[in-house]
Amino acid sequence: MRELTSIVKWMFVEKRDIFLSVLFGFLSGITAIGLFALSGYLISKSAFAPPIYTLMILVASVKLLGITSALTRFGERYFSHRGTFTMLSNLRVTLYKKIEPLAPSLFQKFRSGDLLSRIVGDVETLQNFFLRVFYPPIVLLLVFLCTVFFTMFFSIGIALILLVGFLITTFIFPAIVAWTQRKVDRRVRKSRGELSTELSEFLYGFRDLKVYQKLDDKEDTLRGAADIYLQEQERESVHNLSTEATNTFLSLFVSFAVLGVGAYFVSVGQLDGIFLAMLVMVSLTAFENTAAMSVFPSHLEDSRQASVRLHHVVQTDSEQERLREGEESLSVTTAPDITVENVSFRFPNEARDTLSNLSFTLPAKSKTTIVGPSGSGKSTIMQLILKLYGFQQGDIQLNHQSIEHLSQESIWDHTNVVLQHNHFFYGTIRDNLMIAKEDVTDKEMERVLEKVKLAHFSLDDAVLEKGENLSGGERQRLAIARALLKKSPIWFLDEPTSSMDALTEKDILDYVLDVAREDTVLLISHRLTGLEKMDQIIVMEAGKIVEVGTYDELMKKEGYFYKMKQIEQSVFLNA
Ligand SMILES: Nc1ncnc2c1ncn2[C@@H]1O[C@H](COP(=O)(O)OP(=O)(O)OP(=O)(O)O)[C@@H](O)[C@H]1O
């Protein structure tokens, strides 16, 4: 319940619609009871042939109550739905704000399908929280208290029957149902998450599954997950329908009890017979509203589980939260120096350190390359400087400001980043370039495209999702074009030219280094060519730095770098 309370706090920012929904719900419930009570009284009274003006007043009142009831019902629906949509948007915005700083470590904890099912499905589920869980019981309680109070003027005994019936249908029965509901709901939710996970894996991996002829196996798994989900949904529907039927039976039973006991009271002279039909109508109408309580446990449980799952996604320890609150902005106008001091890092749930005791400095405006075998931790160090992961030991400073105290956004703001895999959005070349800078002109973009040898594209050319219609080298050049437009004083380039031919690679890297001559550049590279012009080369192996120096120094030393270079040359000559 703690999770539900905190999620509700994010949702219930706008309180006006909540108040209006309760008010109109109450007015609608009470006027509906008034309408049917008066109708019952009118029928009984007509049997005694009262004066015509009495009938006229009664008929006019019935009509007035009918119109009021319809209008207030409309008001209730209008405000409750408007409130629900506002709450959902509040929830989505708050959730996004909380999730954003947690990426990419979030993918460490959740598979993407599961995450999607939580962010979309569970948020959607919570739309029922206000509509079916929060305000209907408040309205029901208010309407019932007024009804019981009204009935007391005619018969205390019947008022007591209504009260007992109310307690059973509104509290006792839903509480029993809620107890069994937990298990049913948990199974539906679990199977939905599994189906969503399988489906997203199937879609993402479709091409590879096809090539490796494993499509049928995966389809079977997917069909199995879908069947389980359907079975669980069916079980849930049967459970909900039987709950609804039992609740209706109990409500009708109370109205029969009112009729029977009322008839007895009339026969012993404790109740005027003219009010009997009215009291039965009151009971029937009042218990009509308790039908909503039969779905209350299922929606409460749904909302509770959805909030637990959402809470789990955005959970951060309070220490991290505190640090985030005290963060400052990185303020640099020229290229800063970057110092890494005794940094050790281990990915969550991993047994061994990925980086151990790393120390190096990137002087302001310097050009540094990190080289090393695959898996030695080159990309990881870049991700730590970008504050995408928090490290366990050591410190990283930008211009002597520890990144622990700097906000992620301000670091990214001052950095041009080209990663190994860059994302491209469905749209045009222009849309994909404008992510770097919104006020960039077409001329600037065309110039940059030309510099990265993409002049054959126009800004209006289509880009498919994830850049599917571009070659690997074109995707990398487009990512470099994006970074060039950003014009920030720090450059992080993670194998930005690995899919390009040697000539294009050389031309583009030369151009980038020329543009970045006044900036601090960190380039991760697999290839050991063209490193002569770098100010320093850091050689890594198995998460440790094994050598640092200029190209000439490292070659002269004839150590690890020298050996790597020899191997590369021999592979090149043998190819
Ligand atoms: N999200 C992750 N969770 C757990 N381990 C990871 C994660 N990402 C990378 N690793 C591991 O950390 C180590 C270093 O990875 P990293 O990507 O930094 O290597 P790299 O030197 O950049 O390799 P490459 O040249 O192949 O890109 C590898 O052993 C890798 O398996």
- Mean pLDDT, each 10-residue run in order, the chain (575 residues): 71 81 93 92 85 85 92 93 86 80 66 71 80 85 92 92 90 82 79 85 85 87 93 89 88 92 92 91 86 76 80 63 61 86 88 91 94 91 89 90 85 89 88 86 92 91 87 92 91 90 88 93 87 92 92 90 84 61
Determine the 3-state secondary structure of 111 from DSSP. coil
Distance 550 CA to ligand 1 centre (A): 25
Query: Is residue 468 located within the same domain as residue 529?
Result: yes
Distance 542 CA to ligand 1 centre (A): 10
Q: How many domains does the chain have?
A: 2
Q: Residue 255: which residues within 8 A CB-CB, separation 6 or more? A: 280, 283, 284, 287
376 CA distance to ligand 1 middle (Å): 7
Nearest CA to ligand 1 atom 26: 374
Phi, psi of 425 (to 5 degrees): -95, 155
CA distances from 395 to 70, 104, 414, 540, 544 (A): 67, 20, 19, 19, 16
Answer whether residue 369 is part of any domain: yes
Helix/strand number for the chain, H first, E second: 24, 12
Query: Do 125 and 56 belong to one domain?
Result: yes
Distance 482 CA to ligand 1 centre (A): 25
For residues 472 and 499, the answer to whether their CB atoms sit within 8 Å is yes
Kindly write down the DSSP assignment for every residue of 168-225, as one continuous string.
IIIIIHHHHHHHHHHHHHHHHHHHHHHHHHHHHHHHHTHHHHHHTT-HHHHHHHHHHH
Residue 409 lies in a domain: yes
Pair (300, 398) in one structural domain: no
- Residue 424 falls inside a structural domain: yes
> Using CA positions, which residue lies closest to atom 30 of ligand 1?
375
CA of 389 to the centre of ligand 1 (A): 13
Closest CA to ligand 1's atom 3: 347
Residue 519 phi/psi, 5-degree rounding, is -110, 165
> Are 381 and 479 members of one domain?
yes
Residues 349, 308: one domain? no
Q: Is 359 in the same domain as 484?
A: yes
Ligand 1 center–CA 493 separation, angstroms: 16
Q: Whose CA is nearest to atom 28 of ligand 1?
A: 375
What's the rounded Cα separation, in Å, for the pair 184 and 233?
A: 9
What is the pLDDT at residue 321? 54
CATH code of the domain containing 433: 3.40.50.300
User: Is the Cβ–Cβ distance between 132 and 296 less than 8 Å?
Assistant: yes
Instruction: Pick the residue whose CA is nearest to atom 5 on ligand 1.
Output: 347
Buried b (16+ CB within 10 A) or exposed e, 262-288: beebbeeeebeeebbbbbbbbbbbbbb
Atom of ligand 1 nearest to the CA of 420: 27
Predicted confidence at residue 309, as pLDDT, reads 77
308 and 447 part of one domain: no
Q: Which of 489, 564, 483, 575 is nearest to 531 (CA)?
A: 564
Which residue range(s) make up the domain with 493? 338-573
Task: Kindly report the CATH number assigned to the domain that includes residue 90.
Answer: 1.20.1560.10
Please tell me the residue having the least CA distance from ligand 1 atom 16.
377
Query: Do residues 23 and 165 both lie within one domain?
Result: yes
- Asked whether residue 234 is assigned to any structural domain, the reply reads no
Domain boundary among 281, 316, 351: 316
Q: Which pair of tokens denotes residue 393?
A: 């030991």
In a domain, 215, yes or no: no
Is residue 363 located within the same domain as residue 410? yes
Q: What is the largest CA-CA distance in the chain?
A: 120
Same domain, 366 and 515: yes
Q: Are strands 393-398 and 427-428 parallel, antiparallel or unpaired?
A: unpaired
Q: Give the atom of ligand 1 at the shortest distance from the alpha carbon of 383.
A: 18
Place of tokens 């310097």: 366
**Strand, helix or coil at 539?**
strand
pLDDT the model gives residue 345 = 92
Task: Return the pLDDT at 319.
Answer: 46
Q: Is residue 30 part of a domain?
A: yes
In the reported structure, the alpha carbon of residue 201 is separated from the centroid of ligand 1 by a whole-number distance in angstroms of 21
User: Is residue 370 assigned to a domain?
Assistant: yes
How far apart CA 454 and CA 287 sit, in angstroms, is 71
Taking the CA of residue 104 as reference, the ligand 1 atom at the shortest distance is: 1
Asked whether the beta carbons of 382 and 522 are under 8 A apart, the reply is yes
Looking at ligand 1, which atom is closest to the CA of residue 350?
Answer: 4
User: Candidates 376, 493, 527: which one to mutate for ligand 1, based on the most atoms within 8 Å of Cβ?
Assistant: 376
**Nearest atom, ligand 1, residue 524 CA:** 22
pLDDT of amino acid 311: 79
Question: Is there a single domain that holds both residue 296 and residue 247?
Answer: yes
Query: For a substitution probing ligand 1, which of 352, 379, 381, 498 has the most ligand atoms within 8 Å of its CB?
Result: 379
How far apart are alpha carbons 253 and 33 in whole angstroms? 18
Asked if 362 and 474 sit in the same domain, the reply is: yes
Answer whether residue 258 is part of any domain.
yes
Pocket test for ligand 1, best of 343, 347, 385, 525 (most atoms within 8 A of CB): 347
Task: List residues near ligand 1 (CB under 6 A).
Answer: 108, 347, 350, 354, 372, 374-380
pLDDT number for residue 513: 92
- Compute the distance between CA of residue 12 and CA of residue 86 in angstroms, rounded to an integer: 9
